[in-house]
């Protein structure tokens, strides 16, 4: 495989792990997939009761995940699923890539799944000593 194909596969795996861990995983492991200074941004999304916010760094990203779990929106026991699709990876260099993907967010997946929202992720990933990590995510519902 080429270096670009290897990077593409590694990046797709990081994005998949973020989605899986958001739904049912350990937050410490979840945070290893983000750079220390990562930015996670989202505009208002009334379909899931979220208001515009931006989280910067591990502490704020963790706090957002804890809030979503406490509200029952996602996390272990909520039966939620983030589904990523139409993933377009652009490996810009050995240490930077941009990715645009679409997402579907489902609730009640153990009974009759309900599509709560869908939209687009615009991501920047960087590769450091611990591999590829998410440095910036902008979420656009719709």
- CB of 72 closer than 8 Å to CB of 51: no
> pLDDT of 16-62, one tens digit each?
999 999 999 899 999 999 999 999 998 765 655 555 688 999 999 99
Q: What share of the chain is helix, strand, coil (3-state, %, to 5)?
A: 30, 45, 25
pTM: 0.91
Phi, psi for 79 (deg, rounded to 5): 60, 40
- Domain boundaries defined on the chain: 3-141
Q: Can you give the pLDDT at residue 54?
A: 85
- CB of 107 closer than 8 Å to CB of 113: yes
Asked if CATH classification 3.10.450.50 holds for the domain at 3-141, the reply, yes or no, is: yes
Closest CA relative to residue 120, chosen from 59, 46, 43? 43
Measure the CA–CA gap between 27 and 22, rounded to whole angstroms: 8
> pLDDT of 60-96, one tens digit each?
999 999 998 999 889 999 999 999 999 999 999 999 9
């Amino acid at each position: 495989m080429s270096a670009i194909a290897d990077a593409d596969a590694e990046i797709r795996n990081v994005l998949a792990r973020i989605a899986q861990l958001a739904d049912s995983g350990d937050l410490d492991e979840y945070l290893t997939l983000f750079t220390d200074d990562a930015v996670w941004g989202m505009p208002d999304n009334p379909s899931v009761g979220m208001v515009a916010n931006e989280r910067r760094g591990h502490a704020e990203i963790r706090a957002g995940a804890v809030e979503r779990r406490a509200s029952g929106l996602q996390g272990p026991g909520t039966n939620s699923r983030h589904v990523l699709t139409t993933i377009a990876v652009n490996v810009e260099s050995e240490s930077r890539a941009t990715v645009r993907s679409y997402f579907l967010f489902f609730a009640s997946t153990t009974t009759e799944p309900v599509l709560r929202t869908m939209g687009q992720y615009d991501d920047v990933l960087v590769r450091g000593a611990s591999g590829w990590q998410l440095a910036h995510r902008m979420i656009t519902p719709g």
